Amino acid sequence: MSMTLNEIERALRALRLSGIRATLETRVLQAQASGEPFLDTFSLILQDELDRRRSRLMERRYQLSGLDERATLTDFDWRFNPKLPRQACFELHTLKFLAAGENALIIGKPGTGKSRVAKAIAYHATLQGHEVRVLEADSVFAQYALSEAADQQRQLRSWVEADLVILDDLFLARRISEAASEVLQTLVHQRYKARRSLVVTSNRVVQDWGKYLGDNTMATTILDRLMHRSHLLEFEGRSYRMKEAASKFGTQEPPR
């Protein structure tokens, strides 16, 4: 005996086939209207379920990534700072570096778009099916230091296992705490061993990083692993934040 539409809905719910449940009524109407072969209708219905699952998975990956926006390079103004390494940015955006397990260091003046470019790469990676973690270096390390040991382990594991980690604004506060440099060391070391990519953005020139890390031998190991198999992108130019502030208050931009 065939089921009523209500019973079918209940069965779909029990089977967690929400994609089919969402479109079933339409597909029934469509099949009646067109009199199409059963397999045609069935494949449409299956596709509805696949589509729903895919978009749910993408949404989940985005939520887990820690991204605060769906950043893209679409309306990035490359003319604003013509000295930016545009080709290298697009090269990273292809995610070939990720497949090769390479790192990228995006270094330069504040407001020149370092975080924006790093986040656009991160968002693109989530769309391509990668697990990504975007970490605001200072706040994440501070939170980590305050967490319970079990939480620390769990966090560190998720940072080590992600396909791509963005460490945003490293050394914003120059010196980092002893605890922070220890997590940094573990993170860099473990990801290096597993050949997993790390993208670091920083306003501080690489030459000074050793100073901010304190302990000399630790600094050397961290830096060695970060620099090996690494792309260095230097962002020189004016702050886009200043431009935005200037246009908001109707003032002149500072001269170049």
What gap in Å lies between CA 109 and CA 208, rounded to an integer?
Answer: 14
CB of 112 to Mg ion, least distance (A): 9
Name residue, tokens 């690494």.
Answer: 230
Structure tokens at 103: 């790192």
The nearer residue to ligand ADP, 120 or 160, going by C-beta atoms, is 120
**# residues contacting Mg ion (CB under 5 A):** 1
Longest dimension (CA), the chain: 80
Residues that bind ligand ADP (CB under 6 A): 76-77, 80-81, 110-116, 201, 240-241
Comparing CB distances to ligand ADP, the nearer of 85 and 111 is 111
Residues 121 and 158: their CA atoms lie apart, in Å, by 19
Using CB under 5 A as the criterion, what x/- string covers residues 56-95 for binding Mg ion? Answer: ----------------------------------------
Task: Choose the one of ligand ADP, Mg ion, none that binds residue 148, judging by a C-beta under 5 to 8 angstroms depending on kind.
Answer: none
> Which of the ranges 32-40, 114-122, 143-151, 235-243 carries the binding residues for Mg ion, by CB under 5 A?
114-122
Q: Residue 168's closest CA among 59, 83, 243, 71?
A: 71
What is the rounded (10 degree) CA torsion for 235, 206, 154, 158?
A: 40
Interface contacts to Mg ion, rule CB under 5 A: 115
